[in-house]
Chains A and B, each alone.
Chain A
Amino acid sequence: MASSDSATRPADHQRPRGLGSFLRSQMRNIAPFLTLILLSGFFAIASPSFATLDNVGNILTQVSVTGIIAVGLTFVILCAEIDLSIASIANVTGIAVAYFTLQESYVNIANVPMPGWAAILLALALCALLGLVNALGLTVIGIPSFIMTLAMMQIAAGVSAMLVRGQIAYKVPPLITTLGSGSIGGIPWIVIVAAVMLLGGHLVLTYTRFGRYVYMVGGNREAAEFAGLNVKLILGAVMVISAVCSGIGGMLGVAHFGSAQQNEFDTYLLDSIAAVVVGGTSLFGGRGGIGNTIVGLFVLGVLNNGLDHVNIDSFLKILIRGLILLAALIINVYAQRLREQAAD
């Protein structure tokens, strides 16, 4: 009977893959998670102050701004593109929202005071516009995203410089202040915002048509084009999403730090890219997701925080972070290869 034939064949087909093959194909998800557990275990043993509820709260707060920025970057990297302008766009958006808010008289900035909602909308419009410029450069002109966003990194830094002219602004609209530095029931708002945005990003990537397109374009761009997808539109959209997420991270970051100034977000570029890639999202596109990014965020967060709890040379910390990042990249590349072997 035909049905018995069809019932036995898939089993035959899958059996030789076995557990080893399954683990190999899941390497990209397992490895970061193991790293996280090992790191946490190490620091918990090495330092009594690490594994406390307070410190868990610290870690969550410390990774929040990176997390918000990394949401958009995950979309970009899933499409096998890169966005180097995220930190600069975060910075300029944070500065812009302060620029449109009335500062104290001793702040020497020619700011343009507006109602809080208008300041927020203008700042969001600014980051969306910069993202749109990235998108047009990438899709219409055809500049590789690496170069295009490198230029945008400089442009956004330039706009920041023009706005603050070396000064520091402190005031942002009340809503931003609350979300950036307030808390509710002991939980910082910024952690809640980061969680909501990460969840939103996950839902979009997993359950919407657009999310599917992102994975397909990243998985095989040529095939996506031959399937009749508007690849340029999708690539453009992810660049705008990335810029807007960066902008939100920038606004809340400014409130969180309590000031808006030049070069405030410089470390966030590397941290965000590291979070996405350490989490196991493939630099070649099409594999990974927000779940991976969350694991990556915690790996970085635990590492940064834990190194402060143990007694080591503070200069050595930078080197250790670099080495861990390198290890994650090696795993990323090997995971891709192992998966391809598992598929053969």
Chain B
Amino acid sequence: MSQGRLPILELKEITKAFGGVEALRGVDFALHAGEIHGLVGENGAGKSTLMKIIAGVHPEFSGRFMLDGKETRFRSTRDAHAAGIGMVHQELSVAPDLTVAENVFLGNQPTNRLGLVQWRRMAREAGEQLSRFGIDVDPMTRLGDLPIGLQQLIEIARVLFSGARLIILDEPTSALSPPEVERLFTTLRRLRDQGTSIVFISHFIEDILRVSDLVTVFRNGRKVAETRSADTSKGALIEAMIGRGGETLEHSYTDDLMLPPSGGGSVVLKADQLSFGRSLQHVSFEARAGEVLGVYGFMGCGQLELSRILFGKLKPDHGTLAVDGAAKTFRSTADARRAGVALVPESRRAMLFHQEPVYKNISISILERISALLLKPVTERAIAKRQVEQLQIRPPVVGLDLGMLSGGNQQKVALAKWLTYPPRLLVLCEPTRGMDVGAKNDVINIVRDLRAKGLAIIVLSTEPETVLSLADRILVLKRGAVVREFACEAVSKDRLLEAA
């Protein structure tokens, strides 16, 4: 559609490394006026890095950067902004307590000579601009009272009104309901027809195919395909994303993997019709002793909320939990712990005490068992020592402050605190994220050992490899609902991606 015209943005041979690791290797990318360009790729494939270069977040890179045919270098996001490039991040950056009008004009409200805000003018102009955009709301409403989808549209509107002619949208649809997605797409198409260029990053390949004119696929820092959306399919894109033939040493899970025939013992946890706000809708499942249940889904699919509900940190709006057949209502995480549920959250910051020694980090969850009133530091250290040896935590010094350990070892400490008195159900969020291959294998072996000991284990991850390497049965969550269950059948990375 845009052949023959000069691209407004053209990048050539872009290479960008972070501390010796190449995030982008010789990538070419071009964008024309009035074009919606979809970007797909796995986490870490390089698409976000490229967008951050375009938005001026990363000023250091090698390669040529041409805007309107002229070679340019942005030194900061401010430069990019001045050149008419705006980015809407996955997490909304709106001020929910301000009015719609204030949000639209955030940072450049119209003022009179005394520096006072001209409310009436601001409301009128915001209303006019929004209605041109197809949004019909009272500009004086508090933004937080509007549905998420509308808030997101208003954020996009703000980026546009600030003069952007090139907008980068990072995962804009993950929090939206289908009608909201529809509204967003209508707006994007209208903007395109008015000449705005849009880059659309998403894990939802159907969405990409529906709205974009061109799709570029990234893998391992390289651009591996660029095609017109009309000429490709979801399957072809997934294949390009994950590549065939396993280029890395790690198991790439591109081939079919047989899930074991339904093993597992008694039902340890039964979740029935769990709902939580917009994040979870009627989620039901069972976790069995001696079985690893994988829960896969994209970021924002409701996994985090699900894990918090299982551990009593969030209360579901509807639905029930039963442990070993007895209905449970957790009023605190202590209730969940006493009922035999353990959680290792995804963030180390959230689960460890960095300024305390290793042994206190390990003993914290079992102090109730080893001491009535007075602490027993000798026992604590002995227990910690045993765990440190079993999990091969380095350095093996239980008195060292936790902050001195490497990330992978910290992760093991987080796991270790639940292992002296094993729980009935262990919930692991992103158990191998950011680990090197060796540490990953250690964790995989630990989880398999625990399964052999008869624990029920739930692994939640946004990385298909993590789920595939650990799970005996897999649930796929999409926008808060279970959309597919894989049990005693063949499964592979592309089948998971296809389902999500």
Using a CB–CB cutoff of 8 Å, the interface residues on chain A facing chain B are: 6, 9-10, 13-14, 207-209, 211-213, 215-216, 219-220, 222-233, 286-287, 339, 343-344
Contacts and interface: CB of A to CB of B under 8 A. Distances in A.
Contact of B351 (A216, A226, A344): A226
B276 interface: no
Contact of A343 (B351, B364, B375, B403): B403
Interface stretch (B6-14, B94-102, B390-398, B468-476): B390-398
Nearest to B402: A343
Given A208-B374, A228-B333, A6 B396 contact: yes
B342 interface: yes
A18 to B, nearest CB: 14
Interface residues of B, number: 38
Contacts of A344: 403
A216 B355 contact: no
Given A228-B338, A229-B334, A233-B334, 9 more contacts: A207-B375, A209-B375, A212-B360, A212-B375, A216-B360, A228-B311, A231-B333, A286-B355, A343-B401
A213 B375 CA distance: 11
A209 B373 contact: yes
B45 to A, nearest CB: 30
Among A208, A215, A223, A339, find the residue whose CB has the most chain B CB atoms closer than 10 A. A223
Given A226-B333, A228-B334, A212 B355 contact: no
Given A6-B395, A343-B403, A223 B352 contact: yes
Contacts of B372: 209
A236 to B, nearest CB: 12
B245 to A, nearest CB: 39
Contact of B333 (A14, A229, A287): A229
Contacts of B345: 226
A220 B352 contact: yes
Contacts of A230: 332-334
Contacts of A229: 333-334, 364
A213 B333 CA distance: 14
Contact of B375 (A208, A220, A233): A208
A225 B354 contact: no
Interface of B: 311, 313, 332-334, 336-338, 342-343, 345, 349-356, 360, 364-365, 367-368, 371-375, 394-397, 400-401, 403-404, 417
Contacts of A220: 349, 352-354
Nearest to A339: B355
Contacts, number: 96
6 contacts: A211-B375, A223-B353, A227-B365, A228-B334, A229-B364, A343-B401
Nearest to A215: B356
B342 A228 contact: yes
Contacts of A13: 395, 397, 400, 404
B403 A223 contact: no
A207 B355 contact: no
B373 A225 contact: no
A213 B360 CA distance: 10
Contacts of B353: 216, 219-220, 223, 286
Nearest to B337: A228
B354 A207 contact: no
Contact of B374 (A207, A219, A232): A207
Contacts of A208: 373-375
A212 B371 CA distance: 11
The 10 A-B residue pairs whose C-beta atoms are closest, nearest first, are: A228-B337, A230-B334, A343-B403, A10-B397, A227-B364, A9-B395, A227-B365, A222-B350, A219-B353, A10-B395
